[in-house]
């Protein structure tokens, strides 16, 4: 009998993708919802760090976190949805918190790296992407 815990074989990549997507997307949905809920309080404190205006910047962050987070969570257009999240985390890490100590921006760094992992892994079998691909008629 093979010991699966000590084995180097993947137990189930699709279940791992599902859990990762749900945790990752769920966290971003939470952050985005917090920003929407306190929009009028946070907007005045949100700086124009990339030169497109603080309101547009803030709205783009909300879109990336709430909308794209939801898409990642359900596995719909997952690889496309993770790109705005990656850009948001890259700007947060390299621009907004550039001068902060690493301990102040380490969660942003983790999310930045997880964006790459989610992009490479994709949505997996248990996703809307998978359902949509099954419904496509074969190409002749």
The DSSP-derived string for 20-39 is HHHHHHHHHHHHHHHHHHTH
> If residue 89 lies in a helix (H) or strand (E), which one and from where to where?
helix 78-91
> If residue 59 lies in a helix (H) or strand (E), which one and from where to where?
helix 54-62
Q: What is the pLDDT of residue 137?
A: 63
Q: What is the pLDDT of residue 136?
A: 64
Q: pLDDT digit string (tens) for 18-72?
A: 999 999 999 999 999 999 999 999 999 998 888 899 999 999 999 999 999 999 9
Q: What is the pLDDT of residue 115?
A: 97
C-alpha distances in Å from residue 66, one per residue of 45, 71, 126: 19, 9, 21
The pTM score is 0.87
């Amino acid at each position: 009998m093979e010991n699966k815990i000590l084995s180097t074989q993947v137990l189930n990549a699709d279940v791992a993708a599902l859990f990762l997507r749900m945790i990752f997307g769920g966290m971003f949905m939470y952050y985005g919802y917090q920003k929407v809920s306190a929009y009028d309080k946070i907007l005045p404190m949100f700086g124009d760090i990339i030169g497109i205006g603080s309101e547009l910047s803030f709205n783009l962050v909300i879109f990336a976190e709430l909308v794209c987070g939801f898409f990642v969570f359900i596995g719909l257009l997952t690889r496309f949805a993770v790109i705005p999240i990656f850009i948001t985390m890259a700007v947060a890490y390299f621009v907004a918190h550039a001068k902060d100590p690493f301990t102040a921006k380490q969660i942003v760094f983790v999310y930045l790296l997880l964006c790459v992992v989610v992009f490479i892994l994709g949505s997996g079998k248990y996703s809307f992407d998978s359902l949509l691909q099954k419904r496509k008629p074969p190409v002749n």
